[in-house]
Structures are given as C-alpha cells and as structure tokens.
A and B are shown apart, each in its own frame.
Chain A
Amino acid sequence: GNSVTQMEGPVTLSEEAFLTINCTYTATGYPSLFWYVQYPGEGLQLLLKATKADDKGSNKGFEATYRKETTSFHLEKGSVQVSDSAVYFCALSGAGSTEKLVFGKGTKLTVNP
C-alpha cells in the first residue's frame, strides 16, 4: 500500500541554521506530494506541494523537490527562525486513492534563539 516515511524527531536547531527533514514514499502511480505544518494547539496547514516529478514546491523560505527516481520529497530551509518551531508532516495523495492523504508520523522541530 501507499506509505510515507519521514525522519524521526525531534530536531533541535539554532536560529539561522540550515534545515533538512527527509521524506520518502512508496506509492503506485503518480502521487501528489505535500508538506503540512502544525503549530502548537492548531490544526495542520499546507506548507507546500508538488504534483509531478521534478516539480519544486516552495513557501515561506521552505522548499521541496519531487524526486521520482529516489521517491523522495525532502523539506529544506536555508535559515530557520524561532517561529518555524512546529511539527512538520510529509503526505501523499492520488496514488490510486484520489483525495485521500497518507501522512508520515511527523517531525517536531525546535529552533532556539
């Protein structure tokens, strides 16, 4: 079946450090890929998405590139801020199950000043 594997957390960084959160997936067909972010006490918010191979999604300084050859969608940001502290979820949809999202377990990021 479809699945998403993302790196175990928690991740702790200092402000202005470089961030990478790894995400790999297993799916049949051509899924769409998403990163969602969850701030404390809130629901998930879409951070970025990519719908086909080699697409790059970007938002708020975050980027992720849809790599079909490595079945990956790693999240990166060049310089993190304290306000980026949150839980990040990688997800896929559309690989044979239309709108249903399959989520990774989430990675908690803490950025210290």
Chain B
Amino acid sequence: DAGVIQSPRHEVTEMGQEVTLRCKPISGHNSLFWYRQTMMRGLELLIYFNNNVPIDDSGMPEDRFSAKMPNASFSTLKIQPSEPRDSAVYFCASSWGQGMSNQPQHFGDGTRLSIL
C-alpha cells in the first residue's frame, strides 16, 4: 500500500510568495496531522483533522498559515505571505483514530521549504 504522499519534496521561493504544501493520507485513515520540524524548535504539531474537520489548530503560528481538508484523500497547508522564518521541513501524517490514542501515526517524507 502507498504511504502518506507529500508534494513537493523541496520548495525554494522568495519571501512574500504564497506557498502550498500538499498531502495525500493513507487510504482509510481518518485523522491527518501537519507538523513543522526545525533544529531550534524540534517537531511541532500545527493542526490536525479528524473526518476532514479541524480539531485542534492551536499550533498554527499565525494568520499567515491556513490548512484545509476538502475530502478524505487530500489536504493542503498554505503560507501567505511566506517569510524566511517559515523555512523548515513540513510533515504530514495520518492515522486511523476514533479517539483511540494507541493508534500510531504514519508520516510522509516531508517537504523541505526554503524561503529566501
């Protein structure tokens, strides 16, 4: 079975541009998570969805960040306008959850974002 698929793998863009990261979760999974990883702050949860509904977006840094999940097989994370401090690796993960905390999350390979 295919794992979590993220695109693009690498993105380099200039400050002020809009950036869109994409994620396709594992088929059948109903929870989806967006994380950001940096050397300074480690791995941070930005937002997570259950059954396409945002459950917790307390980790979203500011209004420049937005995430959507229009259907069970696709999610986007947008940054507009982008800033150099947004440079990081962004991971998407999915799991099968119905409030069950013991289900593992499956991660994509990440998008390495560089804002110049």
**Residues of A near any B CB (own CB < 8 A):** 31-32, 34, 36, 41-46, 49, 51, 89, 93-95, 97-101, 103-106
Contact = CB atoms under 8 A, between A and B. Distances in A.
A43 B91 contact: yes
Nearest to A93: B101
Given A43-B109, A98-B99, 11 more contacts: A32-B102, A43-B91, A43-B108, A44-B105, A46-B104, A46-B106, A97-B56, A101-B105, A103-B42, A103-B43, A106-B43
B101 A31 contact: yes
Interface of B: 4, 31, 33, 42-43, 45, 48, 50, 56, 91, 93, 95, 97, 99-110
11 contacts: A32-B101, A44-B43, A46-B105, A49-B102, A51-B102, A89-B43, A98-B100, A99-B50, A99-B99, A99-B100, A106-B42
B93 to A, nearest CB: 8
Top 8 nearest A-B pairs (CB, nearest first) are A94-B101, A43-B107, A46-B104, A32-B102, A51-B102, A99-B97, A105-B42, A44-B107
A10 to B, nearest CB: 13
A100 B103 contact: no
A104 B43 CA distance: 8
Contact of B102 (A36, A42, A89, A94): A94
A47 to B, nearest CB: 10
B108 A99 contact: no
A106 B39 CA distance: 10
Nearest to B103: A99
A17 to B, nearest CB: 26
Nearest to B58: A100
